[in-house]
Amino acid sequence: MYLLNCFFIYSILGFLLEGTFTLITKNNFSSGILYGPWTPVYGFGAILTIIISNKIFKNMHKNRKVETIVTFIILSIVLTLIEWLGGILIEKLFNETMWNYQNYKFNIGKYISLEMAIIWGIISIFTIYFIKPVIDKIENKIPKYITIILTILFAIDLIITTVIKLN
């Protein structure tokens, strides 16, 4: 249940963060392709951040600075790949381009750039050291029935989005 709860928490936080950012910069509240209050790419990214950082910190046995630098590099790459795959999937499945980094100096196509890879690395380290400890305190208080309800609502949202956007 831990990872599933984390998926929902970080997906909702990502939705709120990105929605607020677009509200400030573009005067509309928008995040992701789904209709519900979640953006799954943030949930997947957070789960990968948790799993990868735990493995590095448990197995590397170096000082914390070295582990943090290695974690930063690995997660910058992994999260950038997730963003790239997400962009391609959304475009192929729904004929939509949700973001485009072609105007960035160090872009690689429209879905990834070196600038964003660095930002993902910074966000992942910030998440590991500052956000995750707070989220872990909240996560263990979530009743199982809430997780089940969120899972059902998320599945319904996926189905509705797919049916509506594919027609």
32-81, pLDDT tens digit by residue? 889 999 999 999 999 999 999 999 989 988 888 999 999 999 999 999 99
Helix locations, the chain, DSSP H: 2-26, 40-59, 64-94, 114-126, 132-139, 144-166
Residue 147 lies in a domain: no
- In a 3-state reduction of DSSP, which class is residue 140? coil
Range(s) of the domain holding residue 93 = 2-139
Residue 150 lies in a domain: no
Residue 13 lies in a domain: yes
Residue 65 lies in a domain: yes
Residue 74 lies in a domain: yes
pLDDT band at 129 (very low <50, low <70, confident <90, very high): very high
How far are the Cα atoms of 51, 54, 59, 61, 72 from residue 17, in angstroms, in the given order?
22, 25, 32, 34, 21
Residue 46 lies in a domain: yes
What predicted TM-score, i.e. pTM, was given to this entire model?
0.89
Q: Which residues pair with 108 in a beta bridge?
A: 112
b/e burial code for range 85-117 (CB count within 10 A of at least 16 → b): ebbeebeeeeeeebeebeeeeebeebbbbeebb
Q: Rounded distance, CA 97 to CA 83, Å? A: 12
Residue 51 lies in a domain: yes
Residue 166 lies in a domain: no
Number of domain units in the chain:
1
Residue 61: predicted pLDDT = 83
Residue 167: predicted pLDDT = 73
Q: Rounded distance, CA 20 to CA 32, Å? A: 13
pLDDT band at 107 (very low <50, low <70, confident <90, very high): very high
